[in-house]
Amino acid sequence: MPHIPQEVIDQVRLQADIVDVINSYIPLKKMGRDFKACCPFHNEKTPSFVVNQQRQWYHCFGCGKHGNVITFIMERENVDFPNAVMILANKYQIYIPEDDAWRSRPRDGGAPEPRTSYKERLYILHEKMQAWYAARLNESSVSPVAEYLKTRQLPPEIVAKFGIGAAPDSWDAGMNFARREGFSEEEIVTAGIAIRTDDSPPKIYDRFRNRLMFPIWNEQGRVVGFSARTIEKDFKGAKYVNSPETPVFKKGRILYALHFARQEMGKKGFAILCEGQLDVIAMHRAGHTNAVAPQGTAFTEEQATMLKRYTDTLYLAFDSDGAGTKAVFRAAELALPRGFALKVIRFPGGKDPDELMRNSGAEAIDGAVENARDFFDFSLAYLNGENGDAPAGKAATAEQMLQFISVLESDAAKAAYIEWLSRQMNLDQGALQHEMSRVISRRNREQNRESMYPRPTPAEQVIRPPEPKKDPSAERYRKALYAMLDCILADEYAAEIVSREVQPDLLDSSEYARAIDDVIQSKMLDEWSDAPNRILARYAEQPIDNELSALLMREPLAEPLPKRYVHRTLKDCLRAINLYRLNVLIREKTEALRLAS
């Protein structure tokens, strides 16, 4: 593990503002003194993730995750401390000395090279390959890929913005470039730039050949993979070849162009979900810069959760054919339970956004977006057409509509849509409500079928020894310390009383006791309001108790605590603390006498 000079770590902490860093991952909203968002570490509907800019600290009151800016990068990127520091240093252009402790000697005996984490090297490899593919596209305006690109009618600024490039018609050009840049064969294969056969001896060749190259970015805008479109008109193979899943690329967790679109989603109030890269590019060209697309897969639960961080409204802009309609319903199954308001965009003539943009321009796309239909209105019209007006058809349509209504997050929304469906289909509202109850019961039975007779896990089958009995006074002592800390952090008058009456020998080395001592020291220096920062400074590089973290992130009180409450609370705390310390002293004396005898 590389050693990073402490002055570099200190500079990273100083320059890497926690709000700036976390806001590059999830949208933060200013609420009072703090910033809040839905937690990036667990699924939730109500924001419980709090970031305090003054203290440079975050805490989720839902799952308990907490820490500073480096801790956040460690958790989010799944890296260790040194690599988290390197990621932040790279973001803020902080120079890290490359002395011998930071360098590794190549096998050929050449000059030592700086050490970089394996994942970081894969990121760098993808970024270098993206630049190389773009250069190949620009080096000749009459190459086969360049000629094909002209048929897509993409302006040069759009080609540059989306980093579009060309893979030459070669079996090893990309691989050889990566080797010249210092990457090993193993890294090139792992990144998916090249393919290694199972032959003996194995052969290795470029994955992407004679194709239009679209770089794929993660949420932070780092290139993690590629999607390559064939340029051949009657090509018998796959139209698109995508990067395989790698340590930096998980296709179910990627939304194409999200790093461009996420801020626009907040401004416009909704996101547009398309089918592919060219559709997204067409939407962006038309000014709908809040458009994204799943990457190489159908819309996933993880992608739905990602979008929910940025907006509560989702427009589905899939192709207007049968496959596109099925994709609308699949996406709705994931989006509706998460509380999304859904609309469906239909493109005239069954066209997709890319074709519509080329043939009819931005105005046609604007019109399609403006005329987006409520998902339930669209679904009812489609199902009526599919099932017909006969009683059996109406029953089938009603049941399918109730399947969608039943997963809505809000009971009020369910009731409103059942009333609407009753009017639209001329069916009894009570009958629809009863049928929806049956739909929900049937779904619950199916979901719970396997859990009705759970098998014990191996961990449950292990016979565990009984836990030792806990000292009741020790638990009361811990609770008393917590209550005292809670009181003196909230009220300066309480801190003044404790600084006079609590002697150092009453406090042990536990986290709460040390935090109380920090508040006492701050009060004695007339810096009581800075006590939380003084406490957090000790946890820059070590874990902190979850309850302590939550306590330090609490909103300040609008009014001081009633003095009667302060005196009563501190009196009760001191009684429990003194009793515990007395019990400890008795046990120590008893043990000393036993050993002496």
Domain boundaries, given as residue ranges, for the chain: 6-102, 118-249, 253-371, 380-448, 472-596
Query: What pLDDT is stored for residue 464 in this prediction?
Result: 45
Q: How far is CA 336 from CA 264, 287, 375, 382, in A?
A: 22, 27, 10, 18
Q: Are 122 and 187 in contact (CB under 8 A)?
A: yes
Instruction: Give yes or no for residue 505 having a pLDDT over 80.
Output: no
Query: What pLDDT is stored for residue 84 in this prediction?
Result: 85
Query: What pLDDT is stored for residue 471 in this prediction?
Result: 63
Beta-carbon neighbour count of residue 183 at 10 Å?
Answer: 21
Instruction: Give yes or no for residue 176 having a pLDDT over 90.
Output: yes
Tell me the CATH class for 253-371: alpha beta
Instruction: Give yes or no for residue 249 having a pLDDT over 50.
Output: yes
Query: What pLDDT is stored for residue 449 in this prediction?
Result: 56
* Better pLDDT: 295 or 448: 295
Query: What pLDDT is stored for residue 351 in this prediction?
Result: 77
User: What is the average per-residue pLDDT within 484-490?
Assistant: 90
Domain 118-249: homologous superfamily in CATH: DNA primase, catalytic core, N-terminal domain (3.90.980.10)
* Better pLDDT: 209 or 470: 209
Name the token pair of 273. Answer: 């979900």
Q: Are 528 and 463 in contact (CB under 8 A)?
A: no
Query: What pLDDT is stored for residue 595 in this prediction?
Result: 81
469 band by pLDDT with thresholds 50, 70 and 90: low
* Better pLDDT: 463 or 267: 267
Query: What pLDDT is stored for residue 383 in this prediction?
Result: 92
User: What is the average per-residue pLDDT within 496-504?
Assistant: 84
Average pLDDT, the chain: 85
Report the range out of 37-51, 84-98, 276-290 with the highest average pLDDT.
Answer: 276-290
Instruction: Give yes or no for residue 236 having a pLDDT over 80.
Output: no
Global confidence as pTM? 0.67
Instruction: Give yes or no for residue 453 having a pLDDT over 70.
Output: no
Q: How far is CA 348 from CA 100, 275, 293, 326, 402, in A?
A: 64, 16, 20, 18, 29
Q: Where are the alpha helices (DSSP H) in 371-471?
A: 375-387, 391-405, 411-425, 429-448, 458-461
116 band by pLDDT with thresholds 50, 70 and 90: low
Query: What pLDDT is stored for residue 163 in this prediction?
Result: 95
User: What is the average per-residue pLDDT within 203-217?
Assistant: 94
Q: How far is CA 528 from CA 455, 524, 535, in A?
A: 54, 8, 11
What is the residue type of 523?
Answer: K
Which of 113-117, 279-283, 318-322, 395-399 is predicted least confidently? Answer: 113-117
Task: Using alpha carbons, select from 284, 168, 165 the residue that is nearest to residue 226.
Answer: 165
390-415 exposure pattern, b = at least 16 Cβ within 10 A, e = fewer = eeeebeebbbbbbbbbbbbeeeeebe
Instruction: Give yes or no for residue 64 having a pLDDT over 50.
Output: yes
Packed helices 301-308 and 322-335: angle between N→C axes, nearest 10 degrees: 60
Beta-carbon neighbour count of residue 7 at 10 Å?
Answer: 9
Does domain 6-102 fall into CATH 3.90.1260.10? no
109 band by pLDDT with thresholds 50, 70 and 90: very low
Query: What pLDDT is stored for residue 462 in this prediction?
Result: 44
